[in-house]
Amino acid sequence: MNTAELLVQCLENEGVRYVFGLPGEENLHVLEALKKSSIQFITTRHEQGAAFMADVYGRLTGLSGVCLSTLGPGATNLMTGVADANLDGAPLVAITGQVGTDRMHIEAHQYLDLVAMFAPVTKWNTQIVRPSNTPEIVRKAFKRSQSEKPGAVHIDLPENIAAMPAIGNPLDKGSLQKTFAAFQSINEAAEKISQATNPLILVGNGAIRANASEVVTEFATRLNIPVVNTFMGKGVIPYTHPLALWTMGLQQRDYINCGFDNTDLVIAIGYDLIEYSPKKWNALGNIPIIHVSAMSAEIDSSYVPQVEVVGDISDSLKEILQRADRQGKAEPYALQLRADIRADYEQYATDNEFPIKPQKLIYDLRQVMGPEDIVISDVGAHKMWIARHYHCDRPNTCLISNGFAAMGIAIPGAVAAKLVYPNRKVVAVTGDGGFMMNCQELETALRVGTPFVTLIFNDGGYGLIEWKQQNQFGSSSYVHFGNPDFVKLAESMGLKGYRVESTTDFIPILKTALAQDVPAVIDCRVDYRENSRFTQKSGDLNCKL
């Protein structure tokens, strides 16, 4: 047995089902070992696509997604997806090939110090230099990757080490034990919640990672406290729940900002500052905060909790619920906002103008998708509308690259989503800019049998940047481009291609596309004049208590 074979045995021991990546000269021994293993190697068309697949696999399963590249440009191509997973709390293990240790002291072909290069975008990384250390390194990598807050780790394997004889066995995985919050902090939190007049719950992705959706919903319901989610906290409480105030996180004011303007207590549950800066909702730092999370609060002058309840989120909420009493409390002010929020959403139900308004497109998408179906949002102007208007019944049914905001994630992410949940409908929502960054992975989707729909918001430019340019300078520049015929492009790859010619076409086309046994692409012109209209509307927003 050589080191590469021992490495693959360790991956099997960790429960790895897929490795996403590209073959290269310096990872040949790992590929040969994978051929003889139970792990399926998914050959992608670009290393960035491989990393994004591992990223989304990690988000959906809580297990480390694994991606593989060769050295040099293969490794640098991997970095965007690795950084995305690390900032958004997705467990990921990246493995890179490397030149032999006998060539690292000289200027060798394609050599980069990958351990140094990956250090800023990972929780931990190392190079295997002794074959016998492989089991310890792999076990540590997966443990660190999946420990709270999850993220990316990196293992660098020189080609001569990969080929060396190795003696060893995979290490026992053990289990991660829960940690429990101190009773003092639980009691203090319960007392402040009982006294608050206009409390507000802010829920983030940490609650999803902790599988705390059911307890959060019960907590909010019994205490009658409205709930706002971040982009990454969608679905923690069903969007149809009478206490759900949907999503915050836009860079501009929205209805929910009125709730934060008038609250006297924010209960932040599983909230990570990277999901949405507290300076956007607590600029003066004067809103009292209770922090409920598996980790201590990050340091920020706009986020200084009065109480930190650090431990298992579900257990903490149950303990607080036993002690908090809000009997006789008036209805919190924030609930008055729900009617305005819902009316704004519903007004697009019968809008048939074309090109389609983004709000209408997302409204209709929601009508077709089931409660457990999955939307993967790329990054661009459409992401802001998805965040604001696509609401969820279940956690992890709308995935948005948030902390790193990486364009190109949607299509590779949809491949991973369909591998994890082959019986669910999956739609990758992307702009025409993001589509062209990783559309080559549609061939991967076809080859590995993951039929999903890619919905293109087509505006012929980088719409989000144009939106920001218009807001800041009153004009735009360098944001427009031409596009291929997306329908013909899809058909040339053996996919199904559709073009929306009227607003009433969209739902029938989407249903047809979702019924195909191959990936499908829908090209839809979108009216992004709504961007500037929303900016004007948000500027006129007046909060009244």
Summarised one tens digit per residue, pLDDT across range 438-457 is 999 999 999 999 999 999 99
Q: Are residues 387 and 299 in the same domain?
A: no
Q: Are residues 123 and 188 in the same domain?
A: no
Name the strand (E) or helix (H) holding 94.
Answer: strand 92-98
The percent of residues in the chain predicted with pLDDT above 70, rounded, is 98
Name the strand (E) or helix (H) holding 8.
Answer: helix 3-13
Q: Which residue has the tokens 């999955």?
A: 374
Stretch among 134-138, 310-314, 365-369, 537-541 having the lowest mean pLDDT: 537-541
Q: Which residue has the tokens 């997973």?
A: 85
Name the strand (E) or helix (H) holding 500.
Answer: strand 496-500
Last residue of a domain, one of 163, 191, 212: 163
Q: Are residues 66 and 204 in the same domain?
A: no
Pairing of strands 426-431, 453-458: parallel
Q: Are residues 98 and 157 in the same domain?
A: yes
Mean pLDDT confidence for 19-24: 97
Rounded distance between C-alpha atoms, residue 422 and residue 443, angstroms: 17
- Greater confidence (340 vs 96) lies with 96
Mean pLDDT confidence for 178-199: 96
Instruction: Output the pLDDT for position 257.
Output: 86
Name the strand (E) or helix (H) holding 393.
Answer: none
Mean pLDDT confidence for 106-116: 84
Q: Are residues 255 and 369 in the same domain?
A: no
What's the CATH code of the domain at 315? 3.40.50.1220
Over residues 466-498, the pLDDT tens digits come to 988 998 999 999 999 999 999 999 999 999 999
Mean pLDDT confidence for 283-287: 94
Instruction: Output the pLDDT for position 521.
Output: 98
Q: Are residues 63 and 148 in the same domain?
A: yes
Whether residue 104 has pLDDT greater than 80 = no
Structure tokens at 46: 């670009």
Q: Are residues 432 and 481 in the same domain?
A: yes
Structure tokens at 23: 């073959």
Q: How many domains does the chain have?
A: 3
Beta bridge partners of 375: 398, 427
**Which pairs count as long-range contacts for 140-147, CB under 8 Å and 24+ apart, including other chains?**
141/64, 141/93, 142/14, 142/64, 142/91, 142/93, 142/173, 143/176, 145/58, 145/64, 145/91, 145/92, 145/93, 146/62, 146/63, 146/64, 146/91, 146/176, 147/176
Cβ neighbors of 336 (< 8 A, separation 6 or more) are none
Q: Report yes or no: 207 and 313 within 8 Å, Cβ to Cβ.
A: yes
User: Is 231 domain-assigned?
Assistant: yes
Instruction: Output the pLDDT for position 356.
Output: 96
Instruction: Output the pLDDT for position 204.
Output: 97
Q: Are residues 510 and 374 in the same domain?
A: yes
- Greater confidence (544 vs 387) lies with 387
User: Is 270 domain-assigned?
Assistant: yes
User: Is 220 domain-assigned?
Assistant: yes
CA dihedral sign, ordered 260, 264, 268, 274: positive
Mean pLDDT confidence for 140-157: 97
Q: Are residues 149 and 190 in the same domain?
A: no
User: Is 227 domain-assigned?
Assistant: yes
Whether residue 390 has pLDDT greater than 60 = yes
Whether residue 360 has pLDDT greater than 90 = yes
Instruction: Output the pLDDT for position 255.
Output: 84
Instruction: Output the pLDDT for position 541.
Output: 64
pLDDT class of 526 with cuts at 50, 70, 90? very high
Instruction: Output the pLDDT for position 373.
Output: 98
User: Is 492 domain-assigned?
Assistant: yes
Residue in 57, 46, 8 with CA at minimum distance from that of residue 24: 46
Q: In Å, what is the CA distance from 74 to each residue of 7, 12, 55, 80, 272?
A: 20, 24, 17, 12, 31
Instruction: Output the pLDDT for position 540.
Output: 62
User: Is 45 domain-assigned?
Assistant: yes
Instruction: Output the pLDDT for position 482.
Output: 95
Q: Are residues 322 and 356 in the same domain?
A: no
User: Is 360 domain-assigned?
Assistant: yes
- Greater confidence (542 vs 282) lies with 282
Q: Are residues 275 and 368 in the same domain?
A: no
Whether residue 336 has pLDDT greater than 90 = no
Instruction: Output the pLDDT for position 539.
Output: 59
Give per-residue burial for 304-318: e unless 16+ CB within 10 Å, then b.
bbebbbbbbbbbbbe
Over residues 206-215, the pLDDT tens digits come to 999 999 999 9
What's the CATH code of the domain at 63? 3.40.50.970
Instruction: Output the pLDDT for position 420.
Output: 98
For 485, the domain range is 347-536
Instruction: Output the pLDDT for position 42.
Output: 98
The predicted model scores a pTM of 0.96
Which amino acid is located at 7 in the chain?
L
Q: SS3 of 163, please?
A: helix
Last residue of a domain, one of 163, 197, 225: 163
Whether residue 545 has pLDDT greater than 60 = no
Instruction: Output the pLDDT for position 544.
Output: 62
The full 3-state SS of 118-156, as one line of letters, equals: HHHHCCEEEECCCHHHHHHHHHHHHHHHHCCCCCEEEEE
Instruction: Output the pLDDT for position 542.
Output: 66
User: Is 169 domain-assigned?
Assistant: no
Last residue of a domain, one of 330, 361, 382: 330
Instruction: Give the burial class of 520: count Cβ atoms within 10 A of its Cβ; 0-12 exposed, 13-18 middle, 19 or more buried.
Output: buried
Whether residue 537 has pLDDT greater than 80 = no
Whether residue 348 has pLDDT greater than 80 = yes
Instruction: Output the pLDDT for position 9.
Output: 98
Mean pLDDT confidence for 94-98: 97
Q: Are residues 456 and 396 in the same domain?
A: yes
Whether residue 353 has pLDDT greater than 80 = yes
